[in-house]
Amino acid sequence: MKAESRVHPEDILLRPVLSEKTWHGIEEGKYTFSVKPGASKVAIRQAVEEMFDVKVEKVWALRRPGKPRRTRMDRRHGRTSGEKRAVVKLAPGHRIDLVG
């Protein structure tokens, strides 16, 4: 069996996603993070539990593809970069203070 090297939580959780939709999720105990593209649900769970000292109940992971874009002047086509996000539901009684 191959030994895994230690990955720090800061390498998996890139940043919290703070939008109007995610603020409504926070009221229900669901927090959204932008995560490393290769991160698994288990790794995301461990990173959140270690970084914020909370108990995670469930993890949803999703990939958001980049959107097509074009510049106005030269009509070149391109894409914005995609990202992977994770929605983490905490156990009752646990919360994360993201603005502090």
- What b/e string do you get for 4-40 counting C-beta neighbours within 10 Å, with b at 16 or more? eeeeeeeebbbeebeeeebeebbeebbbbbebbeebe
Distance between CA atoms of residues 19 and 23, nearest Å: 6
Round to whole Å and give the CA distance between 20 and 70: 27
The residue ranges of the chain whose pLDDT is under 70 are: 1-5, 74, 100
**How does pLDDT run across 70-97, given as a tens digit for each residue?**
877 767 788 889 999 999 999 999 999 9
Q: How far apart are CA 56 and CA 41, in angstroms?
A: 11
Query: Rounded to an integer, what is the distance from CA 98 to the centroid of its chain?
Result: 13
Q: Report pTM.
A: 0.84
Domains recognised in the chain with CATH numbers: 9-69+77-90 (3.30.70.330)
